[in-house]
Amino acid sequence: TVDLLTLGETMAALRGTGPLRLGGDLRLSIAGAESNVAIGLARLGHAARWVGRVGDDELGALVLRTLRAESVDVSAAVVAPGELTGMLLFDRAPGGTPRAHYRRAGCAAARLAPADVSAAVALGARVLHVTGITPALGEDPAAAVRYAVEAGRAAGATVCLDVNHRPKLWPRERASAVLRPLAAGAHLVVASEDELPLVCDGPDEAARARALLDLGVREVVVKRGTRGASAYTGTGRHDEPARAVTVVDTVGAGDAFTAGYLSAFLDGLPVPERLRRGVILGAAAVAAHGDWEGLPTRAELDHIGGSPDATLR
C-alpha cells in the first residue's frame, strides 16, 4: 500500500519566455496535474505511485524517467506501442500571463481505460487522487477515473478530487455534468473559487461547501491564489493566508497546494496544518520555473516565505 496513488495524463512540456510566434528557445520538461501532486508528495518523503499511459516514444521515456528520478513509482504505468505521448507548450501572452497550448488529442492518455489502472488500484493506497482533467480526455479516461474512485473507495482509500477545470478541453456545462457525481463520491474536494460552482449549487461559497458536506464529502478545500486557501468541514471554516514570495511561474501552484494539503493529511495533522502546508507548497511552486521543479523536500519546508534578504548557510 502506497501513501498516494494518482492517475492521469503526463505530457512533455516545452516552456518559452515570450509568445511562441516569436520563436526562440524552449526548455523541455514534463507536466501533468496529477504527477505534479505525486512529485510533491515524493519530495516530502511519502510513497507515491502514478499510473497513466504514454507512447513508446522519446517523450514517453522522458515522462517515466523524470518521475522515476523524483522517486515516484511508475511500475504500473502503461507504455503503448505505436501511440504518441502528449505535449504541451507554455508561453506568455503579452502582459506576461502564462498560456498553455495543448498537443494531446488522440495521444496515448486519451485511451487510458479501466484495465490500465486496475492493477495499480488493486495494490492499494491510503489516498487516491484524481482530477477533473482526466475525464475531459475522453470516454475511456472518464471510465478509468470512475473505476479507480469506486474501487479505491471500496478498498478503504481516502478519495481526493481536484476539480481542475480546463476550459480548452471541455465547456463548463459538460464538465459540470461529469464532475458532479465524482465530487459526490470523494472524501476531499479541492477547487479554486471559480470552480466550486461546477460541482455544487448554492447562493454563496459557504452554502455550496455545505451542499457537498451534506452529500458525505468530509473536507471542501477552496484555493484562492494570492489570497490563500480555506477549508470547510463538519466543524466549520478554516482560513490560511498565502505566503509572500516573488512570483516567477504560477503554473502548477494549485497542484503544489494539493500536494501540501495531502502530505499533512497523511501525516495525521489537523485541517489548519493541512492548509498551512498547502500554501507553503503553493508558494514554493510559484517562486520557480516549471510545474513542479520548485517543490521542497521536508528539510526545506521551513524556509519558504521567509525574509527575501536571507541566505541559507
Among 254, 260, 282, 290, binds ligand KDG (CB under 6 A): 254
CA 32 to chain centre: 7
Sign of CA dihedral 292, 125, 302, 67: negative
Candidate ranges 46-54, 183-191, 201-209, 249-257; the one touching ligand KDG (CB under 6 A): 249-257
CA dist 203 and 11 (Å) reads 38
Q: Are strands 78-80 and 53-55 parallel, antiparallel or unpaired?
A: parallel
- Residue 255 in the binding site for ligand KDG (CB under 6 A): yes
- Give min distance, CB of 242 to ligand KDG, in A: 17
CA dist 207 and 203 (Å) reads 6
Compare residues 223 and 238 and give the one whose CB is closer to ligand KDG: 223
Among 38, 80, 190, 251, binds ligand KDG (CB under 6 A): 251
Contact status, residue 76 vs residue 51, Cβ threshold 8 Å: yes
Cell 486519451 belongs to which residue?
110
Helix axes 271-286, 253-266, angle to 10 degrees: 150
Helix axes 33-43, 58-69, angle to 10 degrees: 30
- Residue 252 in the binding site for ligand KDG (CB under 6 A): yes
- Residue 166 in the binding site for ligand KDG (CB under 6 A): yes
- Beta-carbon contacts of 89 under 8 Å, excluding residues fewer than 6 positions away, are 13, 14, 15, 16, 20, 26, 100, 101, 103
Cell of 274: 493541512
Tell me the residue nearest to ligand KDG as measured from the CB: 31
Q: Could you tell me how many residues of this chain bind ligand KDG (CB under 6 A)?
A: 12
Q: Which of 57, 73, 255, 291 is catalytic?
A: 255
Among 31, 72, 188, 242, binds ligand KDG (CB under 6 A): 31
- Residue 57 in the binding site for ligand KDG (CB under 6 A): no
Q: Of 121-160, which residues contact ligand KDG (CB under 6 A)?
A: 133
Candidate ranges 28-36, 56-64, 170-178, 259-267; the one touching ligand KDG (CB under 6 A): 28-36
- Residue 63 in the binding site for ligand KDG (CB under 6 A): no
Catalytic-residue membership of 255:
yes
What are the distances in angstroms from CA 28 to CA 7, 80, 208?
A: 22, 22, 40
- Residue 286 in the binding site for ligand KDG (CB under 6 A): no
- Residue 40 in the binding site for ligand KDG (CB under 6 A): no
- Residue 67 in the binding site for ligand KDG (CB under 6 A): no
- Give min distance, CB of 207 to ligand KDG, in A: 27
CA dist 284 and 112 (Å) reads 31
CA dist 213 and 207 (Å) reads 10
Compare residues 57 and 291 and give the one whose CB is closer to ligand KDG: 291
- Give min distance, CB of 130 to ligand KDG, in A: 12
The one-letter code for the residue type at 308 is P
Binding site for ligand KDG (CB under 6 A): 31-33, 88, 100, 133, 166, 251-252, 254-255, 291
